[in-house]
């Protein structure tokens, strides 16, 4: 399994003090910055140049956005999600085209005003040729993520900024844009780059899927639960099985370069004839396949046959005489693989001892196969989609498609065509031969509508009609197509309140309101220790990691506003921070970890628990004392102290301000 290492996620060292032309500064300068400064000088730029205010005219900017429509469309949802993670931190999220021209931005109002003073705004080019060393331009030049902090910017007017940028590449590895977070250098956070890189990868995967829509697409990973996440590999093939392209993780897992893969087929890479894939899709669409890569590594895969109806029918007809069930190079049938995967992600797998969750599982278990719509309530990050997938995997429809649609992440202008599909020429920009739509993709299986409370009001009547009539009419078509789906919805909204505000249709609410269950937030669950162990086992390649008792106690006191999503990201980062250590401790946690912890001892708390609370309350003093003792032991050497304590130099300076 591919795992991002500490080196993968590392960012270049940010010197405590660094003035571009100061004596000796180049000695402390990261190589990527030093090289960029040399390019900036070669462009004839001067460090004391004023900000270059030469934005594109509105009509030219509109034309540029249209030229980059695919990038713009798929990047905006990821940008909005990223912005929510950094809101109110004096930062902004920026999207540029391949030349560094800003095409869209989101940010805090107070910081946007400062950004405008240096032309950090739509329509302005931030290439190295025009702005010198900066994260956007340097990421384009290096074709790699770039962090440029404060005085590392070539132009003096930009020294108040810290910028973290990651290039966005297409299926050929060509840079098509840049995602960047820029902010006040005083509010710099070490985790920002990781967020930017993950968001850029998310955009790349979306672009990849949009590029190869009339193709066979395989989502694969050695662990079935990673399929559908940023960790999965994605590879696309022609209807005949010829290799077309793969995303970053796909290339890594396949272990071959893009050029080397051009001579391969689906069969040579995954050990399964493409005819057997069509047969599997017809019989068990799109259940998990058990495949063996050409290297002998076993992986699980989910097939998506995004083909026009005529090509699809021809492909199915060509497999009518196929006698044996599809088998893999590892000797297991696809059906057996799907069954095994379902056992690993069924309702039984979710039982971890929490009474509230046990009650939810018992309720949904009783309605399986009875065509009763299920509504899953719960805060963001409580595992609503995981429960929906488990319900599907334990239902009589398990061999058929599970199609998830996030109603909040799809732009309002696209959600209608995404759900219902469309005919050729239904609207400007519609691709030839039309699209089947997500509802018809789920035919015979389960349709999971996540964040149903965010569905545009205008589309709610259409959805209600589909659910009542069991017929779908694609955009631009006069023909209705029968559809049979099991419906599961999820929301973190109070739908009754949205109905009172006129944002949600009452008739649709009662059509969806079959069995309603509510997933408890993480802070109310009693199985936290079991959950932590499961996450550590899933996120690490071995079972060597454990959480210290002191940190586990803090976990119990944490409010977990992001629930399991927050806990998973926290532990994933902690594993990287721990490295070769076996025990994850508080020093492996992010700096803001204590912000959401209740430090008040619970009623009836034992003496040890009260002592822990007291210790936590005085944590800053204890940390400072430990740092000062270590400094004394190392003769005042900050670097040696940082290495001994396993922290950065910046942390030492922050914890002991008198050293600055």
Q: Return the higher-pLDDT residue of 320 and 242.
A: 242
Q: Cα(455)–Cα(505) distance, rounded to whole angstroms?
A: 10
Question: Helices 309-317 & 274-284, crossing angle to 10 degrees?
Answer: 110
Residue with tokens 């803090």: 554
Q: What pLDDT is recorded for position 646?
A: 59
CATH code reported for the domain at 524-659: 1.10.8.60
Residue with tokens 């086992």: 537
Tokens of 561: 């506003």
DSSP 15: -
Q: What pLDDT is recorded for position 479?
A: 82
Range in 26-30, 224-228, 300-304 with the lowest mean pLDDT: 26-30
Q: What pLDDT is recorded for position 388?
A: 92
- State CA 190 to chain mean position distance: 18
268 SS3 class: helix
Range in 72-76, 107-111, 273-277, 546-550 with the lowest mean pLDDT: 273-277
**Torsion-angle region of residue 271: left (phi > 0), alpha (psi -120 to 50) or beta?**
left
212-342 classified as CATH 1.10.10: no
Tell whether omega for the bond before 4 is within 30 degrees of 0, i.e. cis: no
- Same topology, domains 6-189 and 524-659? Answer is no
Q: What pLDDT is recorded for position 625?
A: 67
* Segment 377-396, tens digit of pLDDT: 999 889 898 899 889 988 88
Q: Return the higher-pLDDT residue of 149 and 22.
A: 149
- The answer to whether residue 452 scores a pLDDT higher than 50 is yes
Q: Cα(250)–Cα(293) distance, rounded to whole angstroms?
A: 11
Q: Return the higher-pLDDT residue of 99 and 17.
A: 99
Range in 160-164, 214-218, 401-405, 419-423 with the lowest mean pLDDT: 419-423
Q: What pLDDT is recorded for position 413?
A: 64
**Per-residue pLDDT averaged across 221-242, rounded?**
86
Asked if residues 624 and 656 have their Cβ atoms less than 8 Å apart, the reply is: yes
Q: What pLDDT is recorded for position 314?
A: 47
Which residues partner with 236 through β-bridges? 217, 245
Q: What pLDDT is recorded for position 161?
A: 93
- Cβ count within 10 A of residue 130: 19
* Segment 316-368, tens digit of pLDDT: 444 333 333 333 334 444 444 444 444 445 788 788 889 999 999 999 999 99
- The answer to whether residue 402 scores a pLDDT higher than 70 is yes
- The answer to whether residue 476 scores a pLDDT higher than 50 is yes
Closest C-alpha to 330, from 386, 270, 388: 270
Q: Return the higher-pLDDT residue of 508 and 227.
A: 508
Mean pLDDT estimate for the chain? 79
Closest C-alpha to 13, from 637, 648, 654, 652: 648
6-189 classified as CATH 3.30.450.40: yes
Q: What pLDDT is recorded for position 660?
A: 57
Q: What pLDDT is recorded for position 337?
A: 40
Which residues partner with 490 through β-bridges? 376
Tokens of 552: 């586990």
pLDDT band at 163 (very low <50, low <70, confident <90, very high): very high
Share above pLDDT 90 across residues of the chain, in percent, rounded to a whole number: 30
Residue with tokens 């899933």: 538
- The answer to whether residue 155 scores a pLDDT higher than 80 is yes
Ranked by mean pLDDT, the top range of 98-102, 307-311, 627-631 is 98-102
- State CA 52 to chain mean position distance: 35
pLDDT band at 600 (very low <50, low <70, confident <90, very high): low
pLDDT band at 42 (very low <50, low <70, confident <90, very high): very high
Q: What pLDDT is recorded for position 143?
A: 92
pLDDT band at 141 (very low <50, low <70, confident <90, very high): very high
- The answer to whether residue 397 scores a pLDDT higher than 60 is yes
In angstroms, the Cα distances linking 259 to 68, 262, 463, 518, 520 are 26, 6, 45, 49, 49
Which residues, including other chains, have CB under 8 Å from residue 339's CB and lie 6 or more apart? Answer: none
- The answer to whether residue 462 scores a pLDDT higher than 90 is no
Q: First CA to last CA across the chain, in angstroms? A: 43
- State CA 69 to chain mean position distance: 21
Parse the chain into domains and list their residue ranges: 6-189, 212-342, 345-518, 524-659
Architecture of domain 345-518: 3-Layer(aba) Sandwich (3.40)
DSSP 160-206: TEEEEEEEEE-TTS-EEEEEEEEEEGGG--TTHHHHHHHHHHHHHHH
Q: Return the higher-pLDDT residue of 543 and 294.
A: 294
CA dihedral over 183, 187, 193, 197, signed as positive or negative: negative
288 SS3 class: strand
* Segment 288-309, tens digit of pLDDT: 788 888 777 888 888 877 654 4
Count Cβ neighbours within 10 Å for each residue of 337-363 and write b for 16 or more, e otherwise. Answer: bbbebbeebbbebbebebeebeebbee
Q: What pLDDT is recorded for position 119?
A: 87
3-state helix, strand, coil in the chain (%, to 5): 45, 15, 35
Backbone angles phi, psi at 194, to 5 degrees: -60, -40
Q: What pLDDT is recorded for position 129?
A: 92
Q: What pLDDT is recorded for position 342?
A: 42
Q: What pLDDT is recorded for position 93?
A: 94
């Amino acid at each position: 399994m591919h795992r991002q290492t500490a080196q993968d996620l590392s960012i270049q060292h940010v010197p405590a003090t660094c003035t571009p032309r100061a004596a000796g500064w180049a000695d402390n300068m990261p190589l990527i910055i030093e090289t960029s400064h040399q390019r900036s000088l070669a462009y004839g730029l001067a460090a004391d140049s004023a900000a270059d205010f030469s934005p594109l005219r509105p009509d030219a900017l509109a034309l540029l956005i249209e030229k980059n429509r695919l990038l713009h469309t798929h990047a905006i949802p990821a940008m909005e999600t990223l912005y929510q993670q950094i809101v109110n931190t004096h930062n902004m999220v920026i999207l540029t085209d391949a030349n560094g021209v800003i095409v869209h931005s989101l940010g805090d109002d107070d910081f946007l005003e400062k950004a405008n003073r240096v032309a950090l705004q739509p329509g302005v080019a931030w290439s190295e040729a025009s702005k010198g060393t900066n994260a956007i331009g340097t990421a384009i030049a290096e074709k790699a993520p770039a962090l440029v902090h404060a005085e590392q910017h070539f132009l003096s007017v930009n020294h108040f900024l810290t910028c973290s940028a990651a290039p966005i590449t297409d299926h050929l590895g060509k840079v098509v844009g840049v995602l960047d977070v820029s902010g006040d250098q005083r509010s710099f956070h070490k985790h920002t780059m990781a967020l930017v890189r993950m968001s850029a990868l998310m955009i790349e995967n979306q672009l990849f899927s949009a590029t190869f829509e009339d193709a066979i697409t395989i989502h694969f990973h050695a662990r079935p639960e990673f399929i559908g996440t940023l960790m999965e590999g994605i590879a696309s093939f022609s209807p005949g099985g010829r290799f077309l392209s793969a995303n970053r993780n796909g290339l890594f897992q396949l272990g071959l370069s893009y050029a080397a893969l051009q001579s391969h087929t689906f069969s040579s890479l995954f050990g399964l004839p493409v005819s057997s894939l069509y047969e599997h899709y017809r019989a068990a669409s799109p259940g998990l396949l058990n495949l063996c890569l050409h290297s002998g590594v076993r992986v699980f895969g989910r097939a998506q046959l995004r083909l026009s109806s005529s090509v699809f029918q021809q492909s199915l007809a060509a497999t009518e005489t196929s006698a044996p069930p599809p088998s893999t190079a590892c000797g297991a049938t696809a059906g057996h693989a799907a069954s095994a995967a379902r056992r690993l992600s069924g309702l039984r797998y979710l039982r971890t001892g929490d009474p509230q969750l046990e009650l939810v599982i018992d309720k949904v278990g009783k309605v399986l196969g009875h065509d009763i719509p299920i509504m899953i309530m719960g805060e963001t990050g409580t595992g609503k989609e995981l429960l929906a997938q488990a319900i599907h995997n334990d239902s009589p429809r398990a061999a058929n498609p599970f199609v998830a649609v996030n109603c909040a992440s799809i732009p309002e202008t696209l959600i209608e065509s995404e759900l219902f599909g469309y005919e050729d020429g239904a609207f400007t920009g519609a691709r030839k031969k039309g699209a089947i739509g997500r509802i018809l993709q789920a035919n015979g299986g389960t349709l999971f509508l996540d964040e149903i409370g965010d569905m545009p009001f205008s589309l709610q009547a259409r959805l209600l009609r589909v659910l009542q009539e069991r017929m779908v009419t694609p955009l631009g078509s006069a023909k209705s197509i029968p559809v049979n789906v099991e419906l599961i919805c999820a929301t973190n909204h109070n739908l009754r309140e949205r109905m009172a505000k006129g944002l949600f249709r009452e008739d649709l609410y009662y059509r969806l309101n079959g069995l309603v269950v509510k997933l408890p937030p993480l802070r109310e669950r009693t199985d936290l220790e079991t959950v932590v162990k499961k996450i550590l086992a899933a996120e690490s390649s071995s079972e060597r990691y454990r959480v210290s008792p002191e940190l586990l106690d803090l976990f119990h006191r944490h409010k977990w506003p992001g629930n399991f999503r927050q806990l998973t990201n926290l532990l994933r980062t902690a594993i990287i921070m721990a490295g070769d250590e076996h025990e994850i401790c508080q020093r492996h946690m992010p700096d803001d970890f204590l912000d959401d912890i209740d430090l008040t001892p619970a009623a009836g708390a034992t003496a040890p628990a009260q002592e822990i609370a007291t210790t936590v309350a005085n944590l800053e003093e204890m940390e400072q004392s430990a740092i000062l003792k270590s400094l004394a032991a190392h003769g005042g050497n900050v670097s040696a102290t940082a290495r001994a304590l396993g922290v950065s130099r910046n942390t030492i300076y922050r914890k002991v301000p008198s050293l600055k």
